Chains A and B, each alone.
Chain A
Amino acid sequence: MSLAWLIRRLLLMAYTVIVVSILVFAITQILPADAAQSLLGENATPEALAALRAKLGLGDPAWLQYAHWASHVVTGDFGVSMCTSQPVGPEMLAALSRSLLVAVSSILLTLAVAVPLGVVAALRQGKFTDTGVSLVAYLGVSLPEFVTATLLALLLADTLHLLPATGYVSPLEDFIGGVRHLALPVLTVSVILIAHVMRMMRSETLDVLKSDYIRAARLKGLPERTVLFRHALRNALLPVVTIIALDVGYLLGGIIVIEEIFAIPGIGRALMVAITARDLPSIQAGALIMAATYVLTNTLADMAYALLDPRIRYD
């Protein structure tokens, strides 16, 4: 890929992050008629309200408030939590690292299961395997995360007593314990991801199998094995990178619910706590970090795809 393309892509990423930050800030701080009131609740004293307004700079025009906040964020200073009075940035980033553990494990599990299943379903289109796989995928996509989480917890924790229902143990300290605690959350998130990726892989593979160049390869007298592996699968697997990147969005939404249910101290949980406690700086930091992660993932996926697909060389 050309340097110009790369620069354009990075500029786009920067623009996206800026828009996201404006949006997050606007929704949380500008939109409420009186942010101080909604933060402190109905029983706040007028002095407390005034103090908070001054502290947050709520009297300033909107763009000035944003500029003030943004200038700090750019240097890594997300402010101080209104609940714990600790700096928000390091807290959130630590929480993010724990969430990433769940996220990455889920993605790896999804790749290992959904990609082969999707391809096999396409190869056996119309037959029993395909119908079975498609039905299961349908179901997976039609259940919200909290339902899947609760049902899986019911089955594996409460009924079969295989795994702990909630809680978190760092795998760095206790590997087996850590894995046991992470198993349910990872499984739950993976159910939806697997269903989704499986359907997309199936449809991708079907498209490739119907293409003219696969027909041409077969009619050239190449053995079926060669046609499948050298030609079909190669092209069907190309968009996996893009599909996974799209699913990171699902993942991030699901993480919030999953961490709530299984009490994992990740960024989703931190966000929910902040929202309930109306801790403005934490909400802003958490939301921005989550969205920025998504944008970064997408940009990286685009670049990876451009490297892999020879058709995308210039723009």
Chain B
Amino acid sequence: MTAALSIRNYSLDYVTSAGPVRVLHDISLEIAPGEVLGLVGESGSGKSSLAWALMRHLPANAREVEGSLQLGNVDLQRLGPRELTRIRGRRLGMVFQDPSTSLNPTLAIGSQITEALIRHRDLKPRDADALAIELLGHVDLNNPAAIMRRYPHEISGGEKQRVVIATAFGCRPDVILFDEPTTALDVITGARILELFARLRQETGVAALYISHDLALVTRVADRVAVLKRGRLVEQAPAAEIFRAPRHSDTQALVAAVPRPEHRLVHDSPGDDVLLTASDIEVHYGNPGLFRRAPPAATKKIGLNVRAGEILGLVGESGSGKSSMARALTGLAHFSGRISFDNQVIHGARDMNAAYRRDVQIVFQHPDSSLNPRHRIDEILSRPLKLYGGSLPDIPRLLDQVRLPSSYAGRWPHQLSGGEKQRVAIARAFAARPKLVICDEITAPLDVSVQAQIIELLLALRAETGTAFVFITHDLNLIRQIAHRIGVMRRGEMVDLLPVEDFDANHIHSYTRELMAASPVPVG
């Protein structure tokens, strides 16, 4: 039987000003009809390039060096532009990563579905409308007829992704490429999309190439998994096996880096000394304009406390208010309520004195924007030293503490990778010898393997200095590995604040249960 999709000895170069760069080396993959192949790789692995190569949408500086790409018995590389538009959508579909940018913002949703249906299924407009409504209902959207008339910005991210999926499936292709379809969505929304995908796949028997950076997620969704590292295919195996028994060293490293709640990384318990207590914190954003009223508070009277040396986790989806808490605790947002720290009561940023600012530090999410691009690393690190006592000769020691070579002191931020920039940000925080470090989703934009290294670094620093942490993340599995207690936030409220051992108990909140069910625990 012919494979639905067949890639043989495919190599791809990008021509840059520094010469050709090979992004894919001799890739050979096959997807049987009805099979789902997961393609896993971190950033720079070339996984997206493979998708664009299949869709024949490579950038102008791409050079296909060798190999063949076959869709069934059609040679994709030999297609002219006309034939290409007949293949795309009809036989080879695609679902993109960010649903909010893959729909035309000025056209109604209905027309964006029907234009594909009319083209690929040869329907008249009225029939296409009816089919579109049926498809939207089939992907569990409420009131499909109303959604047809709406515009993309009027529905949520999850709903938009369902529309895109409905369109792709509606054209009845042989193969659908999924390029990280849940990365831009919240954990729970993403889990629902995965359930939808599983159901549709069962019903239609479509073959799929599911691309993701998340190995744990892919093993739940795919039949077989292929691992890409720096453009090379390092391993292919059935999904059930790849986690249990990875053979290649790169795969093993990847598997080891995936957070698993049962692999506890922190084994001590903190004492009873309470370092910081926050009560009734309500965070207010946005000043009222001349004509507008201020928006509602981001958090609704939240309370929490942190003990000396403890790791307190704060988990929630976007809009839950967890980052707002971080900002309130560091005086970056207006809040009402009380913070008591070190026998001082603080009602606002103005009450935070130099001692507080030294003892409570924050590391931000985006490494690109947390370091001033016009300051060198040594200048960045010298500031906390100047403010909190310490001297310039301490800089090499600070860099060493975060496992960076001291030669980095003379570099500019744009010369460092994302993980390295995050290390500098951590070094900057620790330069003050703080008692509490707030980490606001610091590993979210990083690859899984880099994330594992950063976590290991933080734990080592904690062992050295006894610092407490408030670790904010959306990854429940990760926080269950390291936290002593975890607070679960939702829409500005703290629905649960539990010791980590209690996370399997029965008395947890339904939302926490939902969150746990949605966090992908790998098969195997």
* A interface, CB within 8 angstroms of B: 8, 211-213, 215-224, 226, 230-231, 234-235, 238, 309-311
Q: Cβ of B88 and Cβ of A230 under 8 Å apart?
A: no
Check: B55 CB closer than 8 A to any chain A CB.
Answer: yes
Check: B94 CB closer than 8 A to any chain A CB.
Answer: yes
Residues of A within 8 A of B103 (CB): 213, 216
Is the contact region of chain A dominated by helix, strand, or loop, or is it mixed?
helix
- Which 9 A-B residue pairs are closest in the complex by CB-CB distance? A221-B89, A221-B88, A212-B101, A216-B102, A220-B89, A213-B104, A310-B151, A220-B116, A219-B94
> Which bracket fits the contact residues of B?
20 to 34
| Interchain Cβ contacts under 8 Å between A and B, 19 examples | A212-B96, A212-B98, A213-B103, A213-B104, A215-B57, A216-B96, A216-B103, A220-B88, A220-B115, A220-B167, A221-B86, A221-B116, A222-B115, A224-B85, A234-B106, A234-B107, A235-B106, A238-B106, A309-B106
Residues of A within 8 A of B104 (CB): 213, 217, 231, 235
* B interface, CB within 8 angstroms of A: 55, 57, 81, 85-90, 94, 96, 98, 101-107, 115-116, 119-120, 151, 153, 164, 167, 171, 291
Residues of A within 8 A of B81 (CB): 224
Distance between Cα atoms of A52 and B107 in the complex (Å): 63
B101 and chain A: residue at smallest CB distance = A212
Q: Cβ of B105 and Cβ of A310 under 8 Å apart?
A: yes
A126 and chain B: residue at smallest CB distance = B60
Residues of A within 8 A of B151 (CB): 310-311
CB A312 to nearest CB in B, in angstroms, measures: 10
Residues of B within 8 A of A310 (CB): 105-106, 151, 153
Residues of A within 8 A of B101 (CB): 211-213
B104 and chain A: residue at smallest CB distance = A213
B100 and chain A: residue at smallest CB distance = A212
CB B180 to nearest CB in A, in angstroms, measures: 13
Residues of A within 8 A of B96 (CB): 212, 216
Q: Cβ of A219 and Cβ of B57 under 8 Å apart?
A: yes
CB B109 to nearest CB in A, in angstroms, measures: 11
Residues of B within 8 A of A234 (CB): 106-107
- A-B CB pair tally, cutoff 8 Å: 70
Distance between Cα atoms of A238 and B106 in the complex (Å): 10
Q: Which residue of B88, B98, B106, B291 is within 8 Å of A219 (Cβ)? A: B88
Apart from A219-B89, A222-B119, what 4 extra A-B contacts exist at CB < 8 Å? A213-B105, A216-B94, A221-B171, A231-B107
A218 with B57, Cβ < 8 A, contacts A213-B101, A311-B105 known: yes
B103 and chain A: residue at smallest CB distance = A213
CB B45 to nearest CB in A, in angstroms, measures: 21
Is the contact region of chain B dominated by helix, strand, or loop, or is it mixed?
loop
Q: Cβ of A311 and Cβ of B106 under 8 Å apart?
A: yes
B91 and chain A: residue at smallest CB distance = A221
Q: Cβ of A221 and Cβ of B105 under 8 Å apart?
A: no
Distance between Cα atoms of A235 and B151 in the complex (Å): 14
Residues of B within 8 A of A222 (CB): 85, 89, 115-116, 119
A311 with B153, Cβ < 8 A, contacts A216-B102, A216-B103, A224-B81 known: yes
Residues of A within 8 A of B167 (CB): 220
Residues of A within 8 A of B291 (CB): 8
Residues of B within 8 A of A219 (CB): 55, 57, 88-89, 94
Q: Which of A212, A220, A222 has the most CB of B within 10 A?
A: A220
CB A307 to nearest CB in B, in angstroms, measures: 12
Residues of B within 8 A of A226 (CB): 115
Distance between Cα atoms of A8 and B81 in the complex (Å): 50
Q: Cβ of A221 and Cβ of B119 under 8 Å apart?
A: yes
A15 and chain B: residue at smallest CB distance = B290
Q: Which residue of B85, B102, B106, B119 is within 8 Å of A212 (Cβ)? A: B102
B108 and chain A: residue at smallest CB distance = A310
Residues of A within 8 A of B119 (CB): 221-223
Residues of A within 8 A of B98 (CB): 212
Residues of B within 8 A of A311 (CB): 105-106, 151, 153
Residues of B within 8 A of A215 (CB): 57, 102
Distance between Cα atoms of A68 and B120 in the complex (Å): 71
Distance between Cα atoms of A198 and B102 in the complex (Å): 27
A8 and chain B: residue at smallest CB distance = B291
Q: Cβ of A221 and Cβ of B57 under 8 Å apart?
A: no
Q: Cβ of B102 and Cβ of A213 under 8 Å apart?
A: yes
A214 and chain B: residue at smallest CB distance = B104
A5 and chain B: residue at smallest CB distance = B291
Distance between Cα atoms of A219 and B167 in the complex (Å): 12
Residues of A within 8 A of B116 (CB): 220-222
Q: Which of B89, B90, B103, B106 has the most CB of A within 10 A?
A: B106
CB A35 to nearest CB in B, in angstroms, measures: 34
CB B137 to nearest CB in A, in angstroms, measures: 21
CB B296 to nearest CB in A, in angstroms, measures: 16
Residues of A within 8 A of B171 (CB): 221
B88 and chain A: residue at smallest CB distance = A221
A223 and chain B: residue at smallest CB distance = B85
Distance between Cα atoms of A152 and B407 in the complex (Å): 63
B94 and chain A: residue at smallest CB distance = A219
Residues of B within 8 A of A216 (CB): 94, 96, 102-103, 164
Residues of B within 8 A of A309 (CB): 106
Residues of B within 8 A of A235 (CB): 104-106
Residues of B within 8 A of A238 (CB): 106
